[in-house]
A and B are shown apart, each in its own frame.
Chain A
Protein backbone atom coordinates (compact mmCIF):
# COMPACT_ATOMS: atom_id res chain seq x y z
CA UNK A 1 0.00 0.00 0.00
CA UNK A 2 2.89 2.32 0.58
CA UNK A 3 3.67 2.25 -3.12
CA UNK A 4 0.37 3.89 -3.97
CA UNK A 5 0.89 7.50 -4.95
CA UNK A 6 -1.35 10.41 -5.65
CA UNK A 7 -1.03 10.92 -9.37
CA UNK A 8 -3.44 13.83 -9.74
CA UNK A 9 -0.83 16.33 -8.49
CA UNK A 10 1.89 17.27 -10.92
CA UNK A 11 5.42 17.94 -9.76
CA UNK A 12 7.22 21.05 -10.96
CA UNK A 13 9.03 19.07 -13.63
CA UNK A 14 5.83 17.72 -15.12
CA UNK A 15 4.08 21.04 -15.49
CA UNK A 16 3.73 22.81 -18.82
CA UNK A 17 4.33 26.46 -19.48
CA UNK A 18 0.62 27.14 -19.56
CA UNK A 19 0.34 25.96 -15.95
CA UNK A 20 2.51 28.91 -14.93
CA UNK A 21 0.85 31.44 -17.24
CA UNK A 22 -1.24 34.12 -15.51
CA UNK A 23 -5.00 33.77 -15.74
CA UNK A 24 -6.88 35.75 -18.37
CA UNK A 25 -7.12 39.45 -17.55
CA UNK A 26 -4.52 39.17 -14.80
CA UNK A 27 -1.02 40.57 -15.12
CA UNK A 28 1.88 38.64 -13.70
CA UNK A 29 3.70 40.31 -10.84
CA UNK A 30 7.07 41.52 -12.10
CA UNK A 31 7.81 44.09 -9.37
CA UNK A 32 11.36 43.49 -8.18
CA UNK A 33 11.48 41.89 -4.74
CA UNK A 34 14.41 44.08 -3.65
CA UNK A 35 13.91 47.84 -4.08
CA UNK A 36 16.32 49.64 -6.39
CA UNK A 37 17.82 51.92 -3.73
CA UNK A 38 18.95 48.90 -1.70
CA UNK A 39 20.67 47.42 -4.75
CA UNK A 40 22.41 50.74 -5.48
CA UNK A 41 23.60 50.89 -1.87
CA UNK A 42 24.98 47.36 -1.99
CA UNK A 43 26.65 47.97 -5.35
CA UNK A 44 28.16 51.19 -4.01
CA UNK A 45 29.59 49.46 -0.96
CA UNK A 46 30.92 46.58 -3.04
CA UNK A 47 32.65 49.07 -5.35
CA UNK A 48 33.99 51.07 -2.39
CA UNK A 49 35.29 47.91 -0.71
CA UNK A 50 37.22 46.93 -3.83
CA UNK A 51 38.50 50.37 -4.87
CA UNK A 52 38.86 52.47 -1.70
CA UNK A 53 41.67 50.68 0.22
CA UNK A 54 43.94 49.74 -2.67
CA UNK A 55 43.20 53.03 -4.43
CA UNK A 56 44.12 54.96 -1.30
CA UNK A 57 47.38 53.03 -1.10
CA UNK A 58 48.50 53.71 -4.65
CA UNK A 59 47.27 57.33 -4.68
CA UNK A 60 48.85 58.31 -1.37
CA UNK A 61 52.11 56.36 -1.45
CA UNK A 62 53.90 58.85 -3.71
CA UNK A 63 51.81 62.02 -3.30
CA UNK A 64 51.10 62.33 0.43
CA UNK A 65 53.58 60.02 2.14
CA UNK A 66 56.50 60.50 -0.24
CA UNK A 67 57.24 56.83 -0.86
CA UNK A 68 56.76 55.69 2.76
CA UNK A 69 54.85 52.47 2.12
CA UNK A 70 54.13 51.80 5.79
CA UNK A 71 51.93 54.87 6.26
CA UNK A 72 50.28 54.26 2.90
CA UNK A 73 49.47 50.68 3.98
CA UNK A 74 48.10 51.89 7.30
CA UNK A 75 45.91 54.45 5.51
CA UNK A 76 44.62 51.69 3.21
CA UNK A 77 43.61 49.63 6.26
CA UNK A 78 41.93 52.70 7.77
CA UNK A 79 39.97 53.27 4.55
CA UNK A 80 38.72 49.66 4.67
CA UNK A 81 37.45 50.26 8.21
CA UNK A 82 35.83 53.55 7.14
CA UNK A 83 33.85 51.62 4.50
CA UNK A 84 32.87 49.05 7.15
CA UNK A 85 31.57 51.70 9.56
CA UNK A 86 29.74 53.40 6.71
CA UNK A 87 28.02 50.10 6.00
CA UNK A 88 27.10 49.58 9.67
CA UNK A 89 25.62 53.11 9.88
CA UNK A 90 23.65 52.68 6.65
CA UNK A 91 22.36 49.28 7.77
CA UNK A 92 21.29 50.80 11.08
CA UNK A 93 19.41 53.65 9.38
CA UNK A 94 17.81 51.23 6.93
CA UNK A 95 16.29 49.33 9.81
CA UNK A 96 14.97 52.51 11.44
CA UNK A 97 13.47 53.76 8.18
CA UNK A 98 11.71 50.41 7.76
CA UNK A 99 10.25 50.70 11.26
CA UNK A 100 9.15 54.31 10.65
CA UNK A 101 7.53 53.31 7.36
CA UNK A 102 5.64 50.47 9.01
CA UNK A 103 4.48 52.85 11.75
CA UNK A 104 3.33 55.38 9.15
CA UNK A 105 1.42 52.70 7.23
CA UNK A 106 -0.24 51.55 10.43
CA UNK A 107 -1.40 55.12 11.12
CA UNK A 108 -2.74 55.46 7.58
CA UNK A 109 -4.70 52.22 7.84
CA UNK A 110 -6.19 53.39 11.15
CA UNK A 111 -7.31 56.66 9.52
CA UNK A 112 -9.08 54.91 6.68
CA UNK A 113 -10.98 52.49 8.89
Chain B
Protein backbone atom coordinates (compact mmCIF):
# COMPACT_ATOMS: atom_id res chain seq x y z
CA UNK B 1 0.00 0.00 0.00
CA UNK B 2 1.45 3.31 -1.02
CA UNK B 3 1.37 6.04 1.57
CA UNK B 4 -1.22 8.59 0.53
CA UNK B 5 -2.18 11.95 1.90
CA UNK B 6 -5.46 10.78 3.38
CA UNK B 7 -4.03 7.52 4.76
CA UNK B 8 -0.57 8.19 6.18
CA UNK B 9 1.42 5.51 7.99
CA UNK B 10 0.84 6.96 11.44
CA UNK B 11 -2.98 6.98 11.17
CA UNK B 12 -3.44 3.63 12.99
CA UNK B 13 -1.35 4.97 15.87
CA UNK B 14 -3.95 7.63 16.58
CA UNK B 15 -6.79 5.10 16.33
CA UNK B 16 -5.03 2.76 18.75
CA UNK B 17 -4.56 5.70 21.11
CA UNK B 18 -8.36 6.03 21.03
CA UNK B 19 -8.77 2.41 22.17
CA UNK B 20 -6.21 2.91 24.92
CA UNK B 21 -7.78 6.15 26.17
CA UNK B 22 -11.27 4.62 26.20
CA UNK B 23 -10.15 1.66 28.29
CA UNK B 24 -7.78 3.45 30.69
CA UNK B 25 -9.88 6.53 31.48
CA UNK B 26 -13.08 4.49 31.71
CA UNK B 27 -11.45 2.02 34.07
CA UNK B 28 -9.89 4.78 36.17
CA UNK B 29 -13.39 6.18 36.68
CA UNK B 30 -14.85 2.75 37.40
CA UNK B 31 -12.05 1.93 39.82
CA UNK B 32 -12.47 5.19 41.71
CA UNK B 33 -16.24 4.67 41.92
CA UNK B 34 -15.83 1.09 43.15
CA UNK B 35 -13.13 1.91 45.69
CA UNK B 36 -14.72 5.05 47.12
CA UNK B 37 -18.19 3.53 47.46
CA UNK B 38 -16.58 0.33 48.76
CA UNK B 39 -15.14 2.35 51.65
CA UNK B 40 -18.64 3.56 52.45
CA UNK B 41 -20.10 0.02 52.21
CA UNK B 42 -17.42 -1.30 54.56
CA UNK B 43 -18.34 1.47 57.00
CA UNK B 44 -22.05 0.64 56.77
CA UNK B 45 -21.58 -3.12 56.85
CA UNK B 46 -19.93 -3.12 60.25
CA UNK B 47 -23.03 -1.55 61.80
CA UNK B 48 -25.91 -2.72 59.57
CA UNK B 49 -24.95 -5.89 57.66
CA UNK B 50 -28.54 -6.21 56.38
CA UNK B 51 -28.09 -3.08 54.23
CA UNK B 52 -25.09 -4.38 52.28
CA UNK B 53 -27.18 -5.75 49.40
CA UNK B 54 -28.82 -2.39 48.75
CA UNK B 55 -25.58 -0.51 49.31
CA UNK B 56 -23.90 -2.45 46.50
CA UNK B 57 -25.76 -0.45 43.84
CA UNK B 58 -22.97 2.15 43.32
CA UNK B 59 -20.49 -0.70 42.77
CA UNK B 60 -22.71 -2.24 40.07
CA UNK B 61 -23.05 1.19 38.43
CA UNK B 62 -19.28 1.65 38.39
CA UNK B 63 -19.06 -1.71 36.67
CA UNK B 64 -21.39 -0.42 33.96
CA UNK B 65 -19.01 2.51 33.29
CA UNK B 66 -16.29 -0.03 32.55
CA UNK B 67 -18.71 -1.94 30.28
CA UNK B 68 -19.32 1.25 28.24
CA UNK B 69 -15.59 1.72 27.79
CA UNK B 70 -15.22 -1.95 26.86
CA UNK B 71 -17.98 -1.74 24.23
CA UNK B 72 -16.35 1.25 22.53
CA UNK B 73 -12.89 -0.31 22.68
CA UNK B 74 -14.26 -3.47 21.01
CA UNK B 75 -16.07 -1.38 18.39
CA UNK B 76 -12.92 0.59 17.50
CA UNK B 77 -10.79 -2.54 17.50
CA UNK B 78 -13.14 -4.20 14.99
CA UNK B 79 -12.61 -1.26 12.60
CA UNK B 80 -8.81 -1.32 12.66
CA UNK B 81 -6.91 -3.74 10.48
CA UNK B 82 -3.37 -4.16 9.20
CA UNK B 83 -2.48 -2.10 6.06
CA UNK B 84 -2.60 -4.51 3.10
CA UNK B 85 -6.19 -5.51 3.85
CA UNK B 86 -7.48 -2.15 4.95
CA UNK B 87 -6.78 1.44 3.96
CA UNK B 88 -6.98 3.16 7.33
CA UNK B 89 -7.41 6.88 6.76
CA UNK B 90 -6.26 9.68 9.02
CA UNK B 91 -9.90 10.74 9.38
CA UNK B 92 -10.74 7.35 10.87
CA UNK B 93 -7.79 7.66 13.22
CA UNK B 94 -8.88 11.01 14.62
CA UNK B 95 -12.49 9.88 14.75
CA UNK B 96 -11.54 6.82 16.80
CA UNK B 97 -9.46 9.04 19.06
CA UNK B 98 -12.53 11.22 19.61
CA UNK B 99 -14.67 8.12 20.31
CA UNK B 100 -12.18 6.86 22.87
CA UNK B 101 -11.70 10.20 24.58
CA UNK B 102 -15.42 10.97 24.76
CA UNK B 103 -16.34 7.64 26.33
CA UNK B 104 -13.21 7.55 28.49
CA UNK B 105 -13.37 11.02 29.98
CA UNK B 106 -17.14 10.97 30.54
CA UNK B 107 -16.62 7.59 32.20
CA UNK B 108 -14.01 9.17 34.44
CA UNK B 109 -16.45 11.96 35.37
CA UNK B 110 -19.31 9.53 35.97
CA UNK B 111 -17.15 7.19 38.07
CA UNK B 112 -15.96 10.12 40.15
CA UNK B 113 -19.51 11.27 40.89
CA UNK B 114 -20.71 7.71 41.57
CA UNK B 115 -17.85 7.20 44.01
CA UNK B 116 -18.52 10.31 46.04
CA UNK B 117 -22.32 9.97 46.02
CA UNK B 118 -22.06 6.23 46.74
CA UNK B 119 -19.77 6.73 49.72
CA UNK B 120 -21.80 9.47 51.38
CA UNK B 121 -25.15 8.08 50.19
CA UNK B 122 -24.83 4.66 51.82
CA UNK B 123 -23.58 6.20 55.06
CA UNK B 124 -26.61 8.51 55.16
CA UNK B 125 -28.89 5.61 54.17
CA UNK B 126 -27.73 3.79 57.31
CA UNK B 127 -29.29 6.54 59.42
CA UNK B 128 -32.30 7.53 57.32
CA UNK B 129 -33.88 4.89 55.08
CA UNK B 130 -35.79 7.43 52.98
CA UNK B 131 -32.47 8.55 51.45
CA UNK B 132 -32.47 5.38 49.32
CA UNK B 133 -34.70 6.56 46.46
CA UNK B 134 -32.88 9.88 46.28
CA UNK B 135 -29.51 8.16 46.37
CA UNK B 136 -30.45 5.80 43.51
CA UNK B 137 -31.77 8.74 41.45
CA UNK B 138 -28.58 10.75 41.98
CA UNK B 139 -26.51 7.70 41.09
CA UNK B 140 -28.53 7.18 37.90
CA UNK B 141 -28.07 10.81 36.90
CA UNK B 142 -24.34 10.46 37.58
CA UNK B 143 -24.15 7.33 35.47
CA UNK B 144 -26.11 8.92 32.61
CA UNK B 145 -23.07 11.20 32.08
CA UNK B 146 -21.13 8.12 30.99
CA UNK B 147 -24.07 7.04 28.83
CA UNK B 148 -23.98 10.36 26.95
CA UNK B 149 -20.31 9.81 26.16
CA UNK B 150 -21.18 6.32 24.90
CA UNK B 151 -23.95 7.68 22.65
CA UNK B 152 -21.64 10.31 21.16
CA UNK B 153 -18.95 7.68 20.59
CA UNK B 154 -21.45 5.32 18.92
CA UNK B 155 -22.70 8.09 16.62
CA UNK B 156 -19.13 9.11 15.75
CA UNK B 157 -18.32 5.49 15.01
CA UNK B 158 -21.00 5.29 12.29
CA UNK B 159 -18.97 7.82 10.25
CA UNK B 160 -16.21 5.30 9.54
CA UNK B 161 -18.33 3.47 6.94
CA UNK B 162 -18.41 4.98 3.52
Q: Which listed segment binds B: A3-11, A92-100, A104-112?
A: A92-100
Interface size in chain A (residues, C-beta < 8 A)? 27
> Are A49 and B60 in contact (CB-based, < 8 A)?
yes
Given contacts A38-B53, A70-B157, A73-B72, contact A45 B64 (CB under 8 A): no
Listed stretches A12-20, A23-31, A81-89; interface member: A81-89
* B157 close to A69 (CB less than 8 A): yes
User: Is B39 located at the chain interface by the 8 A CB criterion?
Assistant: no
Identify the interface centre among B57, B71, B79, B157: most chain A CB within 10 Å of its CB. Answer: B71
Interface string of B105-147 (1 = CB under 8 A from A): 0000000000000000000000000000000100000000001
Residues of A contacting B75 in the complex (Cβ-Cβ under 8 angstroms): 69-70, 73
**B4: CB under 8 A from chain A?**
no
Give the CA-CA distance A41 to B60 in the complex, in Å. 13
In the complex where A57-B74, A70-B154, A73-B75 touch, is A95 in contact with B64 (Cβ < 8 A)?
no
A91, B56: Cβ atoms under 8 Å?
Answer: yes
Are B60 and A92 in contact, CB atoms less than 8 angstroms apart? no
Interface centre among A33, A76, A91 (most CB of B within 10 A): A91
Q: Mark B74-109, 1 if CB is under 8 A from A, else 0.
A: 110011000000000000000000000000000000
Within 8 A of A (CB), among B30-72: 49-50, 53-54, 56-57, 60-61, 63-64, 67-68, 70-72
User: A residues engaging B (CB < 8 A)?
Assistant: 33, 38, 41-42, 45, 49, 53-54, 57, 69-70, 73-74, 76-77, 80-81, 83-84, 87-88, 90-92, 94-95, 98
B residues sitting closer than 8 Å to A (CB atoms) are 49-50, 53-54, 56-57, 60-61, 63-64, 67-68, 70-72, 74-75, 78-79, 136, 147, 150, 154-155, 157-158
